[in-house]
Homo-oligomer: A and B are copies of this chain.
């Protein structure tokens, strides 16, 4: 039996909310993420449990089964590969591709995914720095720091974003911050935790805590 568009979305969202430690996901959290009501979520959870895709005990929240995890990772692989295609081949901005990839990720056909992957040169990361699962379903989350964890004087590489909202990505564009940028923290304001950060050895910018919390970086 094939999984529906909707079922795939639930699995993907459970995967995201469950995190690497596979913590239980609540009905309300899913209602929020799927933009539906808790009652609708309960209906779907019963269905996904019947299909063996999630572990579900009433009132106890859900986690993915191995089978559900597999499906979720396939969808994530497709989503991220299509995002690479849209940015690298079609010339979209990284702020424009998420919604289109939300649709493309549900196109079936294993062979399509593998040919796309080859066409793109087997990329390891998507345009937002998120890792792309391999064909076998291995997904390894690199352990990046958040910019707020970086001390004054340290130089780090910008590796990804936590917030994928177009407005946030556009803000980074205007600040000249892209994947691979070198960020040196020059000063941290005691009062509001805003930071002065030098970008690629060039201009120094003020970065609010709100922005710092969403920047994934790596020591060099």
- Which of A's residues lie within 8 Å of B, judged by CB? 86, 89-92, 96, 99-100, 103-104, 107-109, 111-112, 115-116, 119
CA distance A91 to B92 in the complex (A): 23
Shortest Cβ distance from A119 into chain B, in angstroms? 5
* Contact B107 A90, beta carbon cutoff 8 Å: no
* Contact A90 B115, beta carbon cutoff 8 Å: yes
* Contact B108 A103, beta carbon cutoff 8 Å: yes
**Residue in contact with A90 in the complex, picked from B90, B92, B108, B119, CB distance below 8 Å:** B119
Counted per complex, copies of this chain come to 2
Residues on B with C-beta less than 8 A from A115 are 90-92
Which applies to chain A's interface (DSSP): helix, strand, loop or mixed?
helix
Residues on B with C-beta less than 8 A from A91 are 115, 119
Shortest Cβ distance from A93 into chain B, in angstroms? 11
Residues on B with C-beta less than 8 A from A92 are 115
Nearest CB to that of A109 among chain B residues? Answer: B100
Residues on B with C-beta less than 8 A from A86 are 112
Interface pairs (20), CB distance under 8 Å: A86-B112, A89-B89, A90-B112, A90-B115, A90-B116, A90-B119, A91-B115, A91-B119, A92-B115, A96-B111, A99-B109, A100-B107, A100-B109, A100-B112, A103-B107, A103-B108, A103-B109, A104-B104, A104-B107, A107-B107
CA distance A109 to B99 in the complex (A): 10
CA distance A184 to B105 in the complex (A): 46
Q: Contacts A89-B119, A91-B115, A92-B115 given; 5 further ones with Cβ under 8 A?
A: A89-B89, A90-B112, A100-B107, A103-B107, A103-B109
CA distance A162 to B94 in the complex (A): 41
Nearest CB to that of A119 among chain B residues? Answer: B90
CA distance A131 to B89 in the complex (A): 24
CA distance A102 to B92 in the complex (A): 24
Shortest Cβ distance from A161 into chain B, in angstroms? 22
Shortest Cβ distance from A178 into chain B, in angstroms? 20
